[in-house]
Amino acid sequence: MIIVLKPNMNEKDLAPIYNLAKSRGLITQDIIGESTRMIGLAGDTASLSPDDLMLFPCVDRIIKVQEPYKLAGRKFHPEDSVFDISGRKIGDGSFTVMAGPCSVESEEQILNIAADVKASGADFLRGGAFKPRSSPYSFMGLGLEGLELLKIARSKTGLPIVSEIMSIEYLDVFARDVDIIQIGTRNMQNFTLLQEIGKLKKPVLLKRGFAATIDEWLMSAEYIMAGGNDQVILCERGIRTFETATRNTLDLSAVPVLKQKSHLPVIVDPSHATGFWNLVAPMSLAAAACGADGLIIEVHNDPAHALCDGAQSLTPEAFDELAQTVRAVLPYAARGE
């Protein structure tokens, strides 16, 4: 529900509205435009009748918001969200590149890759410490040791780090140690995890569930935001379809759809979407062209011997070429509507 205020209203007339909303357990969001001021209400708004709200002299009219996601939706927040994460802006029209191995394997491996991707212009270092694997017999990551190695790589290169959390058990460690907490495709609807992440003041990279609709994905963002954490970055990483030529099907139309529906930054993961290193560059260029705010790309110094996802990992040389090429597409990228 959105309360549109009269143009000549007085600031002090608003307090009773905020108090009423609070007493019903609703979240309020100020929407301040050039000539109009509005208050968005999120939560169980059934407890408030539009007729009652119209009794306040400063209220001009009430707009019902159909979408179930309010805080993640554009209606409540017409401007693009821009986050400043460890000194790097995302969502401001610049193009953010996150790169690194699927999994942290050793100190030497992560330091080498971190130095290489930094030299190629990456903005963030990615690396899995806790890996969600389809088989219980596969390498599951180095766990806390992996996070320690990422921290060493960050201190040597200055690159902020992105890593996936799997369980609320390590919430405090992730809140303290990483710059962006990644929620993987398999946990997009782990609502307990989303609620706990919502209590943090920490940027989150929320990957799309491999069988989730865009609206379901936005509802997961809403879970995090309803807890008070508004720094959510959406990551399209491919969905499962009947096609088997690629690991998943990269739904690039999700990028402009999300730009219409939401104010949150959107990045694309062509590595998990395609599953093949030689498809990563073309889909990265396409992602840049259709208005994505950035990419997250798997890079490995020895893909043939990677402990996880070697087939889709770029060598540092291939990543370097892509990083330079993608910048050439950006001036032609679609932005906004």
Strands 88-90 and 124-126: unpaired
Report how far residue 289's alpha carbon sits from residue 188's, in angstroms, rounded to the nearest whole number: 26
Mark out the alpha helices in 107-213 (DSSP H runs): 107-119, 144-157, 171-177, 191-198
309 binds Mn ion (CB under 5 A): yes
Q: Which does 237 bind (CB under 5 to 8 A by kind): ligand PEP, Mn ion, none?
A: ligand PEP
Secondary structure of residue 333 in the 3-state scheme: coil
Q: Write the interaction track for Mn ion spanning residues 76-115; mark x where CB under 5 A is met and - where it is not.
A: --------------------------x-------------
The residues with which 40 forms a beta bridge, in sequence order, are: 2, 29
Which is it for strands 266-268 and 232-236: parallel, antiparallel or unpaired?
parallel
DSSP bridge partners of 37? 32
Phi then psi for residue 267, to 5 deg, are: -120, 165
Nearest approach, Cβ of 312 to ligand PEP (angstroms)?
A: 10
177 binds, among Mn ion, ligand PEP, none (CB under 5 to 8 A by kind): none
Binding mask 87-126 for ligand PEP (x = CB under 6 A): ---------------x------------------------
Adjacency order of strands within the sheet including 37-42: 27-32, 37-42, 2-5, 59-63
Element (H, E) at 207: strand 204-207
CA distance 49 to 51: 5
Alpha carbons 134 and 143: distance in angstroms, whole number: 17
Between 131 and 202, CB nearer to Mn ion: 131
Is the CB of residue 313 less than 8 Å from the CB of residue 306? Answer: yes
How do beta strands 180-183 and 124-126 pair? unpaired
Q: According to CB under 6 A, which one of 101, 128, 160, 303 is a site residue for ligand PEP?
A: 128
Between 42 and 219, CB nearer to ligand PEP: 219
Q: What's the closest the beta carbon of residue 313 comes to Mn ion, in angstroms? A: 8
Count the alpha carbons within 13 Å of 220 in the hemisphere toward its beta carbon.
Answer: 26
Q: Which of 37, 207, 259, 300 binds ligand PEP (CB under 6 A)?
A: 207
User: Closest residue to ligand PEP, Cβ-based?
Assistant: 184
Q: List binders of ligand PEP among 46-85 (CB under 6 A).
A: none
Site map for Mn ion, 264-303, x if CB under 5 A?
A: ----------------------------------------
Other Cβ atoms closer than 10 A to 19? 10
Query: Do the beta carbons of residue 139 and residue 103 sit within 8 Å?
Result: yes
With contacts defined by CB under 5 A, name the span among 64-72, 154-162, 186-194, 308-316 that binds Mn ion: 308-316
- Interaction residues for ligand PEP, span 182-201 (CB under 6 A): 184-185
Q: Mask 257-286, x = binds ligand PEP (CB under 6 A)?
A: ------------x--x--------------
Nearer to Mn ion, 153 or 200 (CB): 153
Contact pattern from residue 135 through residue 174 relative to ligand PEP, giving x for each residue in contact according to CB under 6 A and a dash for the rest: -----------------------------x----------
Residue 142 CA to residue 186 CA, distance in Å, equals: 19
| Contacting positions for Mn ion (CB under 5 A) | 102, 309
| Contacting positions for ligand PEP (CB under 6 A) | 102, 128, 132, 164, 184-185, 207, 237, 269, 272
